[in-house]
Chains A and B, each alone.
Chain A
């Protein structure tokens, strides 16, 4: 046996239990995830329906249409809030990105032509309690409502001056930046496709 092989055998002798456990636990967790994720996704969808009226002013949970929009070769699920007659009132777009601690999932409300952001809601986050988790508060999310999509938004410290600026939360600049860039990203990637759908009116969706 070559020396490098002997070294490897020594490692294996020491670490075999850790390696074996990691594999067994990993398989177990994959099973749990597969088994539970449909239910978790359903929970998120229920919550989305609950908050859509806050994100698209005047929307009614009864006239919401789920539709898929192709983005970069993938189909993305978006929600279209309609009037009773079927005319579009606005869009709600789920989007996510990396926050300070973990993935942040948000919902973004947009007007039919994607000119204006009508609301933001944080669906899921694990940011620092007492600092970063203020992104879930209405105090913060309301800072996005009414912003134009014409320019990229930016989170700034110490008071927003320009129209495209969002006042960041003190002590949670990274979390504030994360939400802002998730919004920008979603507007950039989905804006065009949503505009087309809105002008094409009707249920084709």
Chain B
């Protein structure tokens, strides 16, 4: 095994913030914009994506020594499509209304670049444990990102969170946030916020390094 590859712990932590799929890599924009009007659909999407990501990573990792370089993408896609179809059928059977609400976005998990990028970057090179940690970390990162956007949109847009009333009746509800433009506005502002915070962190680090050098 390549010793330069990150360990399972690093993979796990990287996925949550330093390499957050939405805020850092800007991957999986379609579900990020499309299903974050409220918490319930957003969290259903996160659960389905996490299931597919974990299963696909484990599957690809366990057959990584058999992969032919020029056929690997085909194998990844085949694997992902299979698990997405399973997730889609389960939603239709056990969460029928949610499955109708999400509509084509569940089958569209197949083309979520987050998943195929983890197969390529991690699972096809590292063992089961590292791939599992990577998938869980990335899923948490994806979940955090969608939760943050959906929270802003649902609370300010409809005055509710997970369907429960959280703002007083007098709140007018900024309808635009629930509509598609609200997805772009919220995501843009949140990405700007995360970038600003990151830049500040780096500036603080630089300062302390300089101080240490001066001393």
Question: B94 — which chain A residues lie within 8 A by C-beta?
Answer: 39
Query: Within the assembled complex, what's the spacing in Å between the Cα atoms of A102 and B71?
Result: 28
Q: A14-B71, A43-B92 are in contact. Are A129 and B34 (CB under 8 A)?
A: yes
Whether B92 and A28, one on each chain, are in contact in the complex, defined by CB atoms closer than 8 angstroms, is no
Complex alpha-carbon distance, A129 and B75, angstroms? 28
Complex interface: stretch among B15-23, B101-109, B121-129, B151-159: B101-109
Cβ contact within 8 Å between A25 and B79: yes
The verdict on A133 contacting B103 (CB below 8 Å), with A25-B82, A28-B82 known, is yes
Contact A18 B78 (CB under 8 A): yes
Q: Is B171 an interface residue (CB 8 A)?
A: no
Instruction: Decide if the interface of chain A is mainly helix, strand, loop or mixed.
Output: helix
Choose from A22, A40, A126, A128 the contact partner of B107 (Cβ within 8 Å): A126
Q: How many A-B residue pairs have CB under 8 A?
A: 61
Secondary structure at the B interface, as helix, strand, loop or mixed, is helix
In the bound complex, do residue A33 and residue B89 qualify as a contact, i.e. CB atoms below 8 Å apart? yes
Q: Which of A1-40 contact B (CB under 8 A)?
A: 14-15, 17-18, 21-22, 25, 28-29, 32-33, 36, 39-40
Determine whether the beta carbon of A39 is less than 8 Å from that of B66. Answer: no
Q: Is B67 part of the binding interface, using a Cβ–Cβ cutoff of 8 Å? A: yes
| Residues from chain B with Cβ under 8 Å of A18 in the complex | 71, 74-75, 78
Q: A29, A127, A128, A130 — which one has the most chain B CB atoms within 10 A of its CB?
A: A29
A193 contacts the other chain (CB 8 A): no
Nearest CB of chain B from residue A16's CB, rounded to whole Å: 9
Cβ contact within 8 Å between B89 and A40: yes
**B residues 72-124 in Cβ contact with A at 8 Å:** 74-75, 78-79, 82, 85-86, 89-90, 92-94, 96, 100, 103-105, 107
Q: Does B180 contact A (CB under 8 A)?
A: yes
Chain A CB within 8 A of B3 CB:
no
Residue of B nearest to A38 (CB): B93
Among all A-B residue pairs, the 6 with the closest Cβ atoms: A43-B96, A25-B82, A39-B93, A36-B93, A126-B104, A40-B92
CB-defined A-B contacts under 8 Å, sample of 13: A17-B63, A25-B82, A29-B82, A29-B85, A36-B89, A36-B90, A36-B92, A36-B93, A40-B92, A126-B104, A128-B104, A129-B104, A133-B104
- Residues of B whose CB lies within 8 Å of any CB of A are 34, 63, 66-68, 71, 74-75, 78-79, 82, 85-86, 89-90, 92-94, 96, 100, 103-105, 107, 180
